[in-house]
Structure 1
Amino acid sequence: MHLAALFITNRHVVPPPVTAPKGTASPTCIATFAEAAVWRIRFTLPADRASLYDWNGESYAVASDMSGDLRAAFVSCNGEEVGDLDRDGSERNVMWARMRDDHGRQPLSLLLHGGDQIYADEITKDHRLCAGWPKDLPRNPSADALADLRHHLRQRLFERYAQIYAAPPFAWLAARVPSLMQWDDHDICDGWGSLPAAVTASPVGQTLFATAREAFLIFQHAATDGDLPARFADPAGQHLGWSVAAGGMRILAPDLRSERTRHTIMGPGGWAMIDTAGRQDAAGHTLLMSSVPLLGPRLSLLELGMRIVPRMQKYEDDLRDQWQSRAHRDEWCRMLRLVRDMARRDGQDLTALSGEIHLATRAVMDLGGGLHLNQLVASGIAHRAPPAAWARFLGALATIGDAPLPDHPIRIVALPGHRTRYLAERNYLLLTRADRAWSARWNLEKSGLTPPLPL
């Protein structure tokens, strides 16, 4: 198991080395900020048994055995659009504290982060070049002004990552459970890629994206350009999709943001990665992390309604973010055909994991021949739930059903032990492999653990 430990220190403080079973590993500085430095230590642990590493006089146990029974967690939406850093920590991180206690009872081997690990929306608010983002932008800012903007955005992103990562329950978990992360729009800004091209292609937009991308690599992958871990499909980083395989499990995490436009969700690099994965034999279970839900209700009906009602058009970008958007219908069908064929391969099971909607739900697509594709949505590890009326509305919309691929209907179905299709509670997902059989349970803030769902 190839790991990286991430450290944030005062500018001139070097963290102690890590001692692992194969020896001692020293830190490398991968970024500096106004008064801080970010360090990485890469090391390995055995992947066929539980292990530990030592740092600064303390031992950290890791459930690193990928060969037999294991547990993993999936989370998304670790924050809110407005005032996230001002929230009371015990309220904001209540589900992280619950996961920490859960890990203490039965260790987690992996922590999968499905998008919106931070909410960067407010970083544009207090700089003159982007205070009016995304509508009021300068046309031809000078190189010096853009350099100042980049410095401003880097510092604001650093502050968000540092504060969120320092939360005690998260920091405790992150030191003991290896994380794998893929980003979504709020790691950049709300609706990145679904905004008009004139906005995202502007000098300010490109500076925002480049700065958020640098922070994503540093803080979510302990990496920098030219030094990406082997899990990334494109060493040059034109897209940031990655895959990991170990012990009869494969995790695919396509990048749905780097190449996104108002008309495409993935570009040539992203599709090359996922097409290659679709042709590979991968015995066991594949977990496909789609940061926006791959299976969902007929949101195209909402888009049509928004065109008719002018005051609703401000929500168009939110719907254009989705696979189900009218703008992405052909691309959505292409992805559904690909995952259908993957799931039909002998000896391979596939489950889609998604977040983004701040609700808990699941969906099923009939693949024919008695096979089904399960999609599990766990969204809102820290983001507070929307009104219950919104969950009921989506549930009513889901009764219409959809079948973008003929003979493969998609249904939104209730979580085990519940009657409604969408649950408006903060939540995270637990994935368990026992005797080579997989199951899933949601941990809901108010309702608690669901009964297990066989996968």
Structure 2
Amino acid sequence: MVFPVPSFTLDPSQPTSDPNAQFFRSPTELGPLLRFADISDNCWQGSVLVIAPIGSEPHFEVSIGSWKPLLIDSFGSFSFYRFDLVIVLTHQPQHVSYKVTSSFKTHSHSFHVPSVLESARFTFWSCNGFGGLHPHEKYETSSVWNDLLKNHERRPYHIQIGGGDQIYADGPHMDLFNLPLLNEFMETADLKDREKVEWTLEHEKTVSERYFCGYAHWFQEEGFAEALATIPYTFVCDDHDIFDGYGSYPAAQQGSPVIQNIGRIGYRFYLLFQHHTTFQRAFQDSLFPENKGYNWIKQFGSNILVLALDNRSSRTEHTVINEDCWTSIWTTLETRLQDSPTPIRHLYIVATVPVVYPRLLAVDNAMEAISKLQSVGRKEEKVFLGGVGHGAVMHRLRGSFGQPDLRDDLMDEWTHPNHLEERNRMVERLQQIAKEKRVRVTFLSGDVHICGVGRFRTEGSDVVPDLLGANVRMDSKAMYQVISSAIVNSPGPDLVVSLLHSNPRVLSPKVTKLPNTVEEMFELFEKDVDGKVLKHKRLLPRRNWSCFETQENGSYKVEIHVENTNHAEESVVYGFSIPELV
């Protein structure tokens, strides 16, 4: 997406003006950050990013050769150096060691690359931070990450997918909106006055510094920092990477100079830290379509393709992804399926917010009714509503953007009435691709601070709630949904989990609005992590992460690792298999 560019530039030589900068870790350098780019022509491609003081170029060595740095950007007194890696795949898996030497320190790490005939073992997680008014003091940031790393030591993962909210720009550790200039903007009582607020050099400076300092702080968190250096990552953006609900607010608010420029700066640092690229280089570095979005598609080995949808940069109240972007997505996907040297058997779609999910229409209707009260004036009255998209507990009746705070969470859902038609067009196109190409489709999503498994399937194809039903093996409409959220943020409240379980387990075509297609959630969680029998078995509100591996019989092994009640103990695994489409 092309953002408006201010008529001035930030002087990187000037000292910080952020009043909270003293609370952030101030690095002498940051990294290495190890990114997976793609597998193409039997070559693994990736990059290592190092942020170092200007004029202090780091040295990079790897066990299979050495590479020179590419200076892609600078900010303040720091430069962003990228080392591009190309590793020729062999008939054996490879353990690749590398070393980064700077004027301050030498960092030595290693990572794993699959064989040329192997599909990658990968892990998926989301919501890597704390947001809003969560009682985060109860939770450690590192315990679930340490659990993932212990499993990585036993059976290494080739790739990690971050499913959105890798940072919380609006969370208590970064708190973008406590900047005095933005706080003044948010406290402007008349919403129409906010639309007239001009974006100034001081806005540009302080907001840019806050994003940079926030990334520098959070990317050094224990556990997460080690994972960034040892498991090649590929990430996708969700709202908290910019700020809560970005894209789902009323048009006048979303299009205001302040919000659009916050978005531009948020995306600048998202591209740098999470994709090792810039606005100018993004398309060259395989984020597409050019100047219209940041989707990506990558091969994860011999028979797996992963498509990540950019659900944020062009989002509005009524559109998740605009039509130009959808056209490019389908064209690119068809080309990659057609050109793959080996048949693609499994297509994963990273959709950030669940595509298969229970409905909360009663709560949504209440939020819409409250939203209509905005003409009466802003009220700071508080109500207990729980969280839906982001696990919050207390929300203001009148939100900061002239709507109930919970409304943007609901508006983010693919199953919201504003987005259901677009969701269904996507699903029907994927059904067609699955049928023609005989490729199994699975959605990977986070956002909701619970874990669970759902599925689309042909109506009547398998009336038994069985993940591996024989009829489903031949059903091209059978598409699985894995929900894994959150790896750090606090779990969603029990009230919302109860509301979500009030839906029927199977939703008919009359509800799904998809021809001859039902949705269902599986009762995967018979017992809690402590062995107690659960009343609600479809969705579990505990911190978690997931992992995926292709089996010899063609099925796909999935494990959801759920945090134990004693955070020091190993996670409890809830496993199942996704059948290959035959």
TM-score, L = length of structure 1: 0.91
Q: Provide the secondary structure at the position in 2 that maps to 1:128.
A: helix
Residues 201-251 of structure 1, C-alpha deviations (whole Å, 9 max, x = no match): 1110111010011011001001012222543232x3320011012411100
SS in 2 for 1:361: strand
Asked if 2 retains the 8 angstrom alpha-carbon contact of 1:200 and 1:206, the reply is: yes
Q: How many residues align?
A: 450
Question: What is the identity, as a one-letter code, of the residue corresponding to 2:435?
Answer: R
Choose which of 258, 264, 274 in structure 1 pairs with 2:313: 258
Q: Which structure has the bigger radius of gyration?
A: 2
- Given candidates 165, 174, 177, the residue that maps to 2:228 is 174
What's the offset of the Cα at 1:440?
0.4
CA contact (8 A) 1:45 1:52 kept: no
**Aligned: 1:72 with 2:72:** no
* Aligned residues of 1:72 and 1:432 also touching (Cα < 8 A): yes
Distance, in Å, in 1 between the alignment partners of 2:113 and 2:137 is: 33
Q: Hey, what's the Cα distance between the residues in 2 that align with 1:247 and 1:116?
A: 29
- Between the aligned residues of both structures, percent identity stands at 24
**Aligned partners of 2:119 and 2:303 also within 8 Å:** no
Deviation at 1:139?
4.0
- 2:431 paired with 1:388: no
2:357 alignment counterpart: 296
> Alpha-carbon deviations, 1:121-141, whole Å to 9, x = none?
121221324544386564444
1:362-418: CA deviations, max 9, x gaps?
111113663221100001011011222322221223547342203211012222655
Letter aligned with residue 87 of structure 2: L
Structure 1 residue 37: Cα displacement: 3.0
**For 2:366, what is the secondary structure of its paired residue?**
helix
What is the deviation of 1:170?
A: 1.6
What amino acid does structure 2 have at the position aligned with 1:127? Answer: P
Match of 1:4? Answer: 47
CA distance in 2, matches of 1:243, 1:413: 28
**Cα separation, partners in 2 of 1:283 and 1:211, compared to 1, 3 Å:** same
Identify the structure with the greater helix proportion.
1
What are the equivalent positions in structure 2 for 1:227-376 lying under 5 Å apart? Answer: 227-228=281-282, 229-234=284-289, 236-245=290-299, 246-277=301-332, 279-280=334-335, 281=337, 283-308=344-369, 314=404, 315-367=406-458, 370=471, 371=475, 372-376=478-482
Aligned match of 1:157 = 211
1:193 to 247, 250, 271: 247
Residue ranges of structure 1 left out of the alignment (5+ in a row): none
2: CA distance, partners of 1:152 / 1:65: 43
Please state how far the C-alpha of 1:110 moved relative to its aligned partner: 0.6
Contact kept, 8 Å, 1:255 with 1:270, in 2: the verdict is no
- Match for 2:558: what amino acid? A
- 1:449 aligns to 2:579 (yes or no): no
Q: Is the 8 A contact 1:193 1:257 kept in 2?
A: yes
Aligned pair partner of 2:60 in 17, 20, 26: 17
Q: Which moved more, 1:337-346 or 1:181-190?
A: 337-346
Q: Name the amino acid aligned to 2:494.
A: A
2:88 pairs with 1:46: yes
CA contact (8 A) 1:89 1:167 kept: no
Change (3 A) 1:89 1:167: farther
1:280-321 CA distances to partner (integer Å, 9 max, x unpaired)? 546211110001111111233432233456776612221111
Match of 1:34 in 2: 76
Sort the Cα spacing of 1:147 and 1:24 in 2 relative to 1 into closer, same or farther, 3 A.
same
Of residues 431, 449, 452 in structure 1, which corresponds to 2:548?
431
Give the letter for the 2:563 counterpart.
Answer: E
Q: After TM superposition, give the deviation of residue 276 of structure 1 in Å.
A: 2.0
**Alpha-carbon distance between aligned partners in 2 of 1:266 and 1:83, rounded to the nearest angstrom:** 30
Deviations 1:70-121 (A, max 9, x none): 421001101112489x967981121111111111111000100111111111
Name the aligned partner's letter for residue 122 of structure 2: A
Give the match's secondary structure for 1:431: strand
Q: Is the contact between residue 416 and residue 452 of structure 1 (CA under 8 Å) also seen in structure 2? A: no
Aligned to 1:78, the other structure's residue is in SS state coil
What is the aligned counterpart of 1:106 among 125, 131, 155? 155
In 2, distance between residues paired with 1:127 and 1:329? 38
Cα drift, residue 17 of structure 1: 2.0
Compute the displacement of 1:184 (Å): 0.6
Partners in 2 of 1:438 and 1:183 — Cα distance? 26
TM-score, normalisation: structure 2 = 0.72
Q: After TM superposition, give the deviation of residue 33 of structure 1 in Å.
A: 2.8
Change (3 A) 1:24 1:186: same
Return the alpha-carbon distance in structure 2 between the equivalents of residues 451 and 336 of structure 1: 25
2:95/2:113 contact within 8 Å kept: yes
In structure 1, distance between residues paired with 2:348 and 2:132: 32
Distance in 2, Cα, partners of 1:308 & 1:147? 39
The 1:316/1:140 distance shift into structure 2, 3 A limit, reads: closer
Distance 1:279 1:30, change over 3 A: closer
In structure 1, give the amino acid aligned to 2:177. T
Deviation at 1:354, TM superposition (A): 0.3
Deviates more, 1:150-159 or 1:385-394: 385-394
Higher mean C-alpha deviation, range 353-362 or range 128-137: 128-137
SS in 2 for 1:173: helix
How many angstroms apart in 1 are the aligned matches of 2:430 and 2:362? 25
Q: 2:503 aligns with which of 397, 401, 410?
A: 397
Q: Which amino acid aligns with 2:151?
A: D
Q: Equivalents in 2 of 1:365, 1:134: separation in Å? A: 44
Distance (Å, rounded) in 1 between the aligned partners of 2:87 and 2:137: 36
Does the C-alpha gap of structure 1 residues 203 and 242 become closer, same or farther in structure 2, counting only changes over 3 Å? same
Change (3 A) 1:70 1:3: closer
Q: Distance in 1 between matches of 2:306 and 2:521?
A: 23
